[in-house]
Amino acid sequence: MSSAAPIGILGGTFDPIHFGHLRLAQELFEALKLKEVRFVPSGTPPHRAAPQALVEHRVEMVRLAVSGNGRFRVDDREARRPGPGYTFDTLTALRAEFGADCPLALLLGADAFLELAAWHRWHELFLLAHIVVAHRPGGAVERWQQRMSQPLAREYAARLMKQPLSVHLAPAGGIAVVAITALDISASAIRNMLRSGEDPRYLLPDAVLDYIQTNRLYPGGR
């Protein structure tokens, strides 16, 4: 067993960050007994449309959102990197930073996990970190298996850990599945509310909402 507690890595566009992101991070932090969670805002995400807010604004919104939680940290390496922000490159840099023996845990939602096989050098991600999948109760694991091809289902099943705390046993290589509280909050819905003049308060931290309004990040509506 490794003597170090795992480091959690939560990437995303955070356009904007909201309570769904923060609650996921908190519940996985507790369930896996992580040392910390690093929030990694993407600069140029390779697998989706370009974010609507500039990267410097998205980084600042994450800083505001995690301030006050000593176990949450902002890691802006992807924001500073030119070109696409590949998770493989980020994990490679983090592995060099923390050393070969420290467990790393890449924290993903179920939707992101379903697309994992399309990611850049995805097989090699298991050499660098564990994959931790946060799912809402209601048969998510079964739906993944139905949507995946048989070779991929076997690949994932072979790496599936029966206990989330097994991420402490090795630096990388496994998949842990953790049920989390269902919060139906999305960044796109928040952006649409702001553009239509609705108030998204209580879906995201007040400091983030104030920053959005001060900088008119998603203009529209009244």
Domain spans in the chain, listed from the N-terminal domain onward: 7-215
CA atoms within 13 A on the CB side of 205: 19
Q: What is the pLDDT along the chain (222 residues), one digit of tens a residue?
A: 566 899 999 999 999 999 999 999 999 999 999 999 999 999 887 777 789 999 999 999 999 999 999 999 999 999 998 888 899 999 999 999 999 999 999 999 988 888 898 999 999 999 999 999 998 766 555 666 666 778 888 888 899 998 999 999 999 999 999 999 988 899 999 999 999 999 999 999 999 999 999 999 998 744
CATH architecture of the domain 7-215 equals 3-Layer(aba) Sandwich (3.40)
**Rounded Cα gap, residues 30 and 104, in angstroms:** 15
Q: Quote the CA–CA distance of 176 and 106 in Å, as a whole number.
A: 10
Mean per-residue pLDDT of the chain: 91
